[in-house]
Amino acid sequence: SDYLLQDYPVTVASNLQDDELCGPFWHLVLAQRWMGQLKAVAGSQMQILLEAVNTEIHFVTLCALQPLPSCLRFVQTNISHLLQDTSKHLAALKPRITRRNFSGCLELRCQPDSSTLLPPRSPGALEATALPAPQAPLLLVLLLLLPAALLLMSAAWCLHWRRWRRRTPYPGEQV
């Protein structure tokens, strides 16, 4: 069949820490780990669709991620849930991708178990001082701008080549 993956079982993290900035990024990291295996068992048409998804989320492999934490728990679901979640998380991340610093997201964090929750703070406890937001990593910004730059350069080259071909006669052609 052209598709074959309708109810293919996959696993998704069930206890990633709920973080507005890092959460979508972490979900994309975990989804990207499935892409190679999914393409290997997919039909020809589904392989094309999965490759398109992989192209969109491949940037996460360029980040210096820490190994997955041992506290991470997974639940089984099917591919449609994984792909819907991937689309949702990518949409949530796209507007922030060039304006935010994701260096604090390189280590996936788990929701604390109820047994490991911290005791309530005493009223006299010192509050932590917030650190200033680090600057956006230049490498990530450059990597994200690279495809656009390559596209613009190739378009300019194509236009230049077309103009040159119109001006240059073929061998043996009368001018």
1-111: CATH class: mainly alpha
- Which residues are registered as beta bridge partners of 78? 9
Sign of CA dihedral 153, 155, 158, 160: negative
Q: How far apart are CA 148 and CA 60, in angstroms?
A: 17
Per-residue pLDDT at 106: 93
Note the pTM of the prediction, 2 decimals. Answer: 0.61
Per-residue pLDDT at 97: 80
Q: DSSP secondary structure string, the chain? A: -----TT-EEEEES-B---TTHHHHHHHHHHHHHHHHHHHHS-HHHHHHHHHHHHHHGGGGGS-PPPPPTT--EEEEEHHHHHHHHHHHHHHHGGGTTTS--GGGSS--BPPPGGGPPPPPPTTPPPPPPPPPPPPPHHHHHHHHHHHHHHHHHHHHHHHHHHHHHHSPPTT---
Per-residue pLDDT at 156: 66
Residues comprising the chain, all counted: 175
Sequence letter at residue 144: L
Per-residue pLDDT at 15: 94
- CB neighbours of 34 closer than 8 A, spacing ≥ 6? 10, 82
Give the mean pLDDT per block of 10 residues along the chain (175 residues): 68 92 93 88 84 89 90 89 90 85 90 58 39 46 57 64 65 63
